[in-house]
Amino acid sequence: MIRVHTVAPGSLGAALGLAPKTELLAINGTPLEDFLDWEFLSADEHFMLHVRSPGGEEIEYDVQRPEGWPMGITLEPPRIRRCGNHCDFCFVDGNPENLRRPLYIRDDDYRLSFRYGNFATLTNLKPWDLDRIVAYRLSPLYVSVHATDPVVRRWVLRNPEAPAIVPQLAGLAGQGIRFHTQVVLVPGVNDGAVLEQTLDDLYGLGPAILSVSVVPVALTEFSKHDVVRQPTGAECRAALAAVAGTAGRAVAERGRPWCYGADDLYLQAGEPLPPAEWYGDFEQRENGVGAVRYLETRIAEARDGFKALGGRRIAVVTGAAMGPLMPQVLEGLARASGASFELIVLENRLFGPMVTTAGLLPGAAFHEALRARSDLELALLPAEAVNDDRMFIDDMSVDALAADLPMEMRLSYEFADALAGSGDGAVRSPHGVGG
């Protein structure tokens, strides 16, 4: 069942009289199961829409959509497809107790893979799902492959029923579906010869595989350390060698690297990152692949917008993963803006020091680091550390944090968004300064 969440004033939805909590039942007689059905079936200019109003009345609308007039409705969040795997490195097992309930949900949802780029394993697909992927052309999908050897993959996923991934990808590829793929590197399980085979098999699937990334497994203090460990520097270097071998072949034969190591893999290997050009369109930057080079590129592009910052004292607060990589980024920013930047690297005391990504830093950590820093005029915090409701992972709100800091605070994905003054509504100025 899908229900209306909001209706924009002046939209077609408002003109029809749709209201929050209206159930959207069917279009042209086809029952609506989820947001995909709604989006694809309501894309026509003319359709019959069957709804149940919040008061229980069933209504059929003959919808004629004039060109360019949006429906203007958002839907209540979909019921997330649960994961049937039990990976040793699962982030849910790595969570401390007493976080928000959604953080304990193991999701594995091809719909969210298509919509938001979440990685899915495709192990929980029913024939009906496969039909929908093809019918709605849900492409590209983001797929966690981990290993193409079915036995190893089942071991990694701890799922004896996981279907073989190569035939699954090949079948969908034959129907025009494309994939970005990843291998989470688990030392002693899917590295070495298994990794080489996986990269070979994916390469052999041809252009349907748009990219593959190799990402070192990330663990927290609470993970199952008796059964899984992080790769050593030497293991990361070996994985990078496998990546380089495949990427070299791809450059020679297909004109682009295709196979990438995550920034973290380079960091843990103690090797320098490739140049920005290596990453092409930075297609897996959200997965931490080329993220640093992408930042540098965005800063260089936006440098003219930084001029008003001259002389300001600005803190950039981030997690330990980005700590070693940030000085080179901030040097470029200081040159472009004339401002002085201080890098503040926070240890994650909620998940433990092994968790180094900025996105999992709790609000309390920012508060503790910044509350007494009245010498600073502006603090940039990683926007990925807050959710859509503007809450940090420890349920501190952005507004509550901003109200208790002595400097202006802005959330930023890539500096250029916050520093060039354009912002995206994420700018917070507790004392009415700037913004």
Q: Which of residues 328-347 bind ligand SF4 (CB under 6 A)?
A: none
**For 90, phi and psi rounded to 5 degrees?**
-55, 135
Q: How far is the CB of 220 from ligand SF4 (least distance, A)?
A: 13
Residue of 104, 101, 99 whose CA lies nearest to 394: 99
Size of the site for ligand SF4 (CB under 6 A): 9
**Given the DSSP bridges, would you call strands 23-27 and 141-144 parallel, antiparallel or unpaired?**
unpaired
At 61 the three-state DSSP class reads strand
CB of 114 or CB of 294, closer to ligand SF4: 114
Q: Which of residues 104-133 bind ligand SF4 (CB under 6 A)?
A: 106, 108, 121
Cα distances from 236 to residues 55, 192, 262, 263, 283, in angstroms, run 59, 10, 10, 11, 22
Cα distances from 129 to residues 33, 123, 134, 165, 417, in angstroms, run 12, 11, 9, 16, 38
Q: How far is the CB of 198 from ligand SF4 (least distance, A)?
A: 16
Terminal Cα distance for the chain, rounded = 41
Q: Is 82 in the site for ligand SF4 (CB under 6 A)?
A: no
Q: Is 85 in the site for ligand SF4 (CB under 6 A)?
A: yes
Q: Is 312 in the site for ligand SF4 (CB under 6 A)?
A: no
Q: How far is the CB of 121 from ligand SF4 (least distance, A)?
A: 5
Q: How many CA atoms lie within 13 A of 345 on its CB side?
A: 12
DSSP letter string, 185-252: E-TTTSSHHHHHHHHHHHHHTGGGEEEEEEEE----TTS-TTT--PPPHHHHHHHHHHHHHHHHHHHH
CB of 147 or CB of 370, closer to ligand SF4: 147
Q: How far is the CB of 400 from ligand SF4 (least distance, A)?
A: 30
- From 78-86, 174-182, 387-395, 419-427, give the range in contact with ligand SF4 by CB under 6 A: 78-86
CB of 121 or CB of 357, closer to ligand SF4: 121
Q: Is 84 left (phi over 0), alpha (psi -120 to 50) or beta?
A: alpha
CB of 343 or CB of 354, closer to ligand SF4: 354
- From 86-94, 124-132, 274-282, 417-425, give the range in contact with ligand SF4 by CB under 6 A: 86-94
CB of 93 or CB of 200, closer to ligand SF4: 93
**Given the DSSP bridges, would you call strands 209-216 and 58-64 parallel, antiparallel or unpaired?**
unpaired
Q: Which of residues 90-109 bind ligand SF4 (CB under 6 A)?
A: 90, 92, 106, 108
- From 85-93, 298-306, 315-323, 392-400, give the range in contact with ligand SF4 by CB under 6 A: 85-93
Where do contacts with ligand SF4 occur on this chain (CB under 6 A)? 83, 85-87, 90, 92, 106, 108, 121
